[in-house]
Amino acid sequence: MTTSLNFARQGDKSNSAWFEEWITRLLEDRDQSGLTEMIHEIDALMITVDPSCSVAYIAELSLMTPYHYLVTLESESHYTHVLRIDLNSPDLLVREVKDPNTRGIFRSLNEVYPIGAHKPNSRYMGEILRVTNLHSVVETQKRREVRFFSQDQLRKLELPGNMAVVKPSPYTHNIVGYWERAVGELRVYALGISTIRDDVNRVYHEAKELQEKLGLDELILPIDHLATRIYSQNREVAILEYLTLTSYYYWGSYDIVDQNSSTNVTKSVHYQDERRSPAKVFTAANHPYFVNYLLNGASPTENFVRNYGPRLHHIALAVHDGETAGQANIDYVVDEIRKQGKQFLLDVIGSKEEGLKQIFSSASEHSSLIIEYVQRFGNFAGFFTKKNVAQLTHAAGVEEQLRLLQAQAAQS
């Protein structure tokens, strides 16, 4: 039996006694119930965009990531574009709403937030996890009071009918889906009529030809981690909830004091290589927004959540260690992508001596998601340095404030 508590704890942030008690009880119960052994890697990530945004977004992803356009699945109210690297990395399901007036639970999660409402259908939805026994996983989770969409609700939401989907988290607003798939079996999504769209295929091939010409196709690796931003008071419960829903363990937390935040990492117990099943990171403010004036400090993480709602902030991609044209690979990748008109929030930060370099892109106008690139040197095993995180968090906060001002101007 896998023991989810047998992993070394990293970090310098203290958790509450309540958290330490319940993480032990929850993970011991998860192991004993068999859930840890039945729930495996992240098989797919689901992203929804507004009408007419998916083609441009796929062009962007095709240049900036290793993903390839596979097929489009058309249902009554959505196009779902399947992007894939291989069966050893998660798929991306890019869902485009056909009708701008379409309403539903996921749109409602955007509309109460000032920037989120500006792109009402644009949001990261959540992860699909591979399981070995779907019925047992669902029944065990139901006994733990996890709530699922009914099959009728899945049909109305046009989510894949061959999976069980947990209702949106009150802490992250993300969903988790389970489906049964044996190792080596193809991933087949029950989502409608299958076609290869000419417009999508054209921009995909153009982007991939450019990516290969620039030499980026050998340098950009699969997803390293997914970073969600949440309210300060929900840090510990969001981590514990995700551990309840998955077979991840708590890697640890780091306190980023000068940005009034902490970075909290969970990882798969089954796969050490994050490219097989990305780490899930939760970032939360140390203090809620209404005490900031007493602290005389910044609160970029809390401001993001107040503007967009709790949601995924960025998708981080690994960059192959090494050098190209006399530069660290990450510097070369960023320089070449910048030449194509893509913007980044700052220059590449970090160094070989520190063990890694990182950078954030500007948020995509199509999905509101940021792409992070991270290059580790040698045997560096972490996800960041505290200095890097502080600079990245500050830079993202500056851009988000500009987007808020733009949204307010558009509404006035």
pLDDT tens by residue, 275-332: 999 999 999 999 998 998 898 777 889 989 999 999 999 999 999 999 999 999 999 9
Q: Give buried/exposed letters for 43-55 (b at 16+ CB in 10 A, else e).
A: bbbbbbbbeebbb
> What's 148's DSSP letter?
B
Q: Which amino acid is at 282?
A: F
Percent of the chain with pLDDT over 70: 94
The pLDDT of residue 410: 57
The pLDDT of residue 403: 62
* Beta strands at 220-230 and 248-256: parallel, antiparallel or unpaired: unpaired
DSSP E strand boundaries for 50-158: 68-74, 78-84, 91-97, 123-131
Q: How far is CA 335 from CA 201, 324, 342, 370, in A?
A: 26, 11, 10, 17
Lowest mean pLDDT among 188-197, 218-227, 243-252, 297-306: 297-306
17-76, pLDDT tens digit by residue?
999 999 999 999 999 999 999 999 999 999 999 999 999 999 999 999 999 999 999 999
pLDDT at 115 over 90: no
Integer Cα distance of 406 and 402 in angstroms: 6
The pLDDT of residue 68: 98
139-150, pLDDT tens digit by residue?
999 999 999 999
Whether the Cβ atoms of residue 236 and residue 16 lie closer than 8 Å to each other: yes
pTM for this structure? 0.94
Whether the Cβ atoms of residue 65 and residue 371 lie closer than 8 Å to each other: yes
pLDDT at 406 over 60: no
- Tokens 């194509």 sit on residue: 340
The pLDDT of residue 408: 55
* Beta strands at 91-97 and 78-84: parallel, antiparallel or unpaired: antiparallel
Q: Residue 253: name the closest of 283, 285, 297 by CA.
A: 283
Q: Which amino acid is at 334?
A: V
The pLDDT of residue 112: 92
Angle of CA points 107, 108, 112, to nearest 5°: 120
Q: Residue 178: name the closest of 123, 138, 225 by CA.
A: 138
Residues 6+ positions from 267 with CB-CB distance below 8 Å: 7, 248, 249, 251, 274, 279, 280
* Beta strands at 175-180 and 123-131: parallel, antiparallel or unpaired: parallel
The pLDDT of residue 103: 87
Sheet holding 39-49, edge to edge: 164-165, 175-180, 123-131, 39-49, 91-97, 78-84, 68-74, 193-195
Helix (H, G, I), strand (E, B) or coil at 313: strand
The pLDDT of residue 173: 96
The pLDDT of residue 205: 98
Integer Cα distance of 238 and 141 in angstroms: 17
CA atoms lying within 13 Å on the CB side of residue 93: 25
Domains of the chain (ranges, CATH numbers): 37-211 (3.10.180.10), 215-411 (3.10.180.10)
DSSP states of 323-391:
EETTEEHHHHHHHHHHHTT--BSS--EEETTTTEEEEEBPPPTTT-PEEEEEEE-TT--SS--HHHHHH
Tell me the average pLDDT across 245-263.
93
Q: Which amino acid is at 202?
A: R
349-394, pLDDT tens digit by residue?
888 988 899 999 999 999 999 999 999 998 887 777 667 676 777 6
Percent of the chain with pLDDT over 90: 79
Which sign, positive or negative, has the C-alpha torsion 104, 94, 178, 271? negative
pLDDT at 155 over 80: yes
Q: Which two tokens stand for residue 251?
A: 């890697």
The pLDDT of residue 381: 79
pLDDT at 409 over 60: no
Tell me the average pLDDT across 211-228.
97
Tell me the average pLDDT across 324-341.
96
